[in-house]
Structure 1
Amino acid sequence: MLPMPSAPAHVVNVPVNQIREITQAAWATPDSIVLSIGEPAFPVARHVLEAAMAALDRDDTDYTPNAGIAPVRAAFAEHFSRRSGVEDDPSRVFVVAGAQQGLHLALSTLIGAGDEVLLPDPGYPTFTMTVGLLGGVPVPYPLVPHHGFQPRIEDLRRLVSARTRVLMLNSPSNPLGSVFGSDLTRDLVRFAHENDLWIISDECYEAFTYDVPHISPARFDAGGPEAVPEATEARVITSLTLSKTYGLTGLRIGALVTPPGMEPLLNNVMEATVSCVSAPSQYAGLAALTGPQDYVHTALEHYRANRDAATAVLDALGIGYLDARGAFYLWADLSYATGGDVRAWTRAFLADRGVALAPGTAFGAMGEGWVRIALCGRTDELIEGLSRLPAPQRT
């Protein structure tokens, strides 16, 4: 038997996704409480399911244009314009197989071997994984507790180099639940233009903020209503998804909202990756975007209530956390218990107490000692799971 061909270093060195690691261990553990993964707990709205089934019933299963069906692109454009305040043309919307494929598509058009991408640390792990798979160099910028886990322009200035091509932004943040304000967002867009960088703005959780607005960086880009003077041409690519907003995680549908001029490149790269998103998923997405929005309103209030219930448990135990202003996660400080290895601690906590939490190191080195708690499941399980956490020793 011939030996297995060796994989290239940029593939071998892609880090393990520790979220999946602990979640799969939890799924294999009977009666475990899984607070480690962001899977919405509500059933998908019936009108969305019926739209997908209707597409199957009429055998609408052929190829679609690379960028998606025209009505779906128009619906995404209208949705983005309404939420961001940025007028957008459907011709610049690309329907993608979920935000992850959109991230891969965007980076595939922007970076080559050895190019650097500035990524948040803590940040979603596939940011780093995707950059590495494309032969790029992930450069983490630190998000620290004493600055509310918000980006600092001085850190970005220290890290940018002649090889830097992209600044990755994520607000509302997964895993942090933090939300960028208007002034910070404007400063980040200005920094990108001053340094000739593209911005990929991951706005997967834009529908879920608590008492603060969601601010899209596109507002301050060229063509936006508050464009910074440095923005002589558009440089922001916005990533949207229906996975979280409407609970369509398995249908794999999202969109990239792109600057003018990128359409030919994206069409070619889309053809070389997935060709197009399945037609039934696109029709489900169209129904979600244009139909009743009860699901979104119900989910938002459930996540808010779960956030409040979770923080009440942590407060009673004396456990510190970052005040979640968006998304559906809570970022909690377990450094007093984890012994400097939160990844190992979460595995032991699952084995001993039957609760799965995502280790902070899944999101970067700055996450050591912290855990991410998913707030999107049942309230009773959330309260029970968190009540099993060890309290800090009182002095």
Structure 2
Amino acid sequence: MPKISANALAIPASGIRRIYELAGELADVIQLSIGEPERPVAQHILTAGASAWQADITHYTPNSGMTLLRTAIASKLARDNHYSVDDDQIHVTTGGSQALHMAMSLTLTAGDEILIPDPGYATFSMIPRLLGVTPVPYRLTAAEGFAPSLSELEQCVTSRTRVLLINSPSNPLGVVYSAQQLAQLLAFAARHDLWVISDEVYEYFSFGVPFTSIASLDTDNRVFSVYSVSKTYGLTGARVGYLVTPPGIAATFRAAQEATVSCVNAPAQLAVLAALEGPQDYVIQAREHYGSNIEVACAQLDQSGIRYQRPQGAFYLWIDVSHVSDGNVAAWAEHFLLTQHVAVAPGVAFGQMGEGWIRICLAGKTEPLLTALKRLPAPGNNRPIGRPTITDDPRVL
């Protein structure tokens, strides 16, 4: 039998999905391990998608997406992200994940290196490996407020480095970079002639601090910006995102899109058009709910004496459980699930710097969230657990 591609075999399994799938085998689990908004999708969005199916709008669209949708996105970028682009710089993708994949495919060649945050979303290291590219983690530490350190980045650069990937608001950390920090990162990228890929999927969810799109500061066309409607409008299963590129790349993108998915399904594109142009009540109410959950969750952790990183954005809480995880937080998270019926994402699913931490999602109902947090062992109740009896090694990445 022929061998599977070495690139494919190099992709690590997702530590988040492992917990999610294990939780599916249990009853009465409080599910906090995945970023799934629980609020119902706005009716005008559902109606637009359903009407498109009923009207048999099921044919191919342009590779980069429907013109009406790209025009609406351009208006949104000018209004909310404070930068202007032509429609041919906007490309509709199958979710933010494919937007990331396309951005890396357009900027990296096998053998290159990409600088990725650690901790950072698992896909940041999975996609490069599929492309034969080396992901080089730059460490984000509690001592630095989980913000990028320019000295750390300088140490990571080599002659093969081609891309700097940043994520603000951050998944899993909830950190939002200031305009000054973004300008410094752009200057760093310019010094080393790097592309910048900016994951801005959580753009509408910041709390008490302003969100800035790095493309609004870009003066030399080096930024690729990744967006998604999955979190903004609760459309995780619709799989629609978009990539905003520097000028002059449209023809190359469309050829690459034709070689992968051809185009995003038409009814989903029309649903997103309705989302962008219709009432924004869902986004406003979701932001208020997540902000409220942040307050009650942090109050509960303060009461328990558990250390955490207070989120400035996104809808996650990054919690320190090193007092009980005994240097193996992946095993601890599985044991916690099996014994307490609470699913949390182990920090090592986001990189080695996540050891001793967990990520929980704040996008669900408040009462189950508080119940789950009360089950976390407080410092002082810190007897380390043993590795649970599980067939596969739970440690990934």
> Structure 2 length normalisation: TM-score?
0.95
SS in 2 for 1:273: coil
Say whether residues 1:279 and 2:266 are aligned partners: yes
CA distance in 2, matches of 1:49, 1:234: 36
**Aligned-residue CA RMSD (Å):** 1.0
One-letter amino acid of the structure 2 residue matched with residue 92 of structure 1? Q
Alignment of 1:84-233 (within 5 A): 84-222=81-219, 233=220
| C-alpha distance in structure 2 between counterparts of 1:253 and 1:211, whole Å | 28
- Give 1:10 shift: 1.7
1:367 corresponds to which residue? 354
**Equivalent in the alignment of 1:227:** none
Report which stretch shifted further, 383-392 or 75-84: 75-84
381-390 or 73-82, larger mean C-alpha shift: 73-82
Distance 2:258 2:147 in 1: 37
**2:331 aligns to what?**
344
Counterpart-to-counterpart distance in 2, 1:98 and 1:122: 22
Deviation by residue 1:82-134 (Cα, 9 ceiling, x = unmatched): 12211122221001110001111111111111100000000000110001001
| Counterpart position of 2:376 | 389
Give CA deviations for 1:109-168 in whole Å, capped at 9, x if unaligned: 111111000000000001100010011000000001100000011111111111111100
- How far residue 394 of structure 1 moved from its aligned partner, in angstroms, is 8.0
1:78 touches 1:88 (CA, 8 Å); kept in 2?
A: no
CA shift for structure 1 position 8: 2.3
Task: Give the equivalent residue in structure 2 for 1:229.
Answer: none
1:312-331 map, 5 Å: 312-331=299-318
2: CA distance between counterparts of 1:317 and 1:211? 24
- What CA deviation, in whole Å up to 9, does each residue of 1:248-307 have, x standing for no partner? 100111111110011111011000000000000000000000000000001000100111
In structure 1, the gaps of 5 or more residues are 223-232
Counterpart amino acid of residue 343 in structure 2 = A
**Residue 23 (structure 1) aligns with:** 20
Quick one: distance in 2 between partners of 1:245 and 1:23? 22
Query: Which of 24, 41, 44 is 2:41 aligned to?
Result: 44
CA distance in 2, matches of 1:388, 1:16: 27
Pick the aligned partner of 1:333 from 312, 317, 320: 320
CA contact (8 A) 1:204 1:241 kept: yes
Aligned length: 382
1:305 to 292, 297, 300: 292
Using the alignment, how far apart are the partners of 1:274 and 1:30 within structure 2? 37
* Aligned mates of 2:102, 2:124 — CA distance in 1: 12
Which aligned segments of 4 or more residues in structure 1 are displaced greater than 4 angstroms?
none
AA at the equivalent of 1:86:
Y
| Structure 2 letter corresponding to 1:181 | S
SS of equivalent to 2:46? helix
Q: What amino acid sits opposite 1:159 in the alignment? A: C
* Whole-angstrom CA distance in 1 between matches of 2:71 and 2:208: 29
CA distance in 2, matches of 1:174, 1:27: 23
Hey, what's the Cα distance between the residues in 1 that align with 2:68 and 2:208? 32
Paired with 1:133 and 1:179, the residues of 2 have a C-alpha distance of 29
Instruction: Give distance in 2, aligned partners of 1:336 and 1:7.
Output: 41
Q: Which amino acid aligns with 1:345?
A: W
Secondary structure at the residue paired with 2:165? strand
Indicate conservation of the 8 Å contact 1:98/1:254, yes or no.
Answer: yes
Aligned pair partner of 1:379 in 355, 362, 366: 366
CA distance in 1, matches of 2:50, 2:29: 34
TM-score for the superposition, normalised by structure 1: 0.95
2:228 is aligned, of 241, 245, 251, to 241
Residue matched to 1:53:
50
Distance apart, 1:57 and its partner CA: 1.2
Cα deviation, residue 80, structure 1: 1.5
1:32 counterpart letter in structure 2: V
**For each residue in 1:299-348, what CA deviation from the matched residue of structure 2 results, as whole angstroms up to 9, or x when unmatched?**
00010011111111111110000110000000010000100000000000
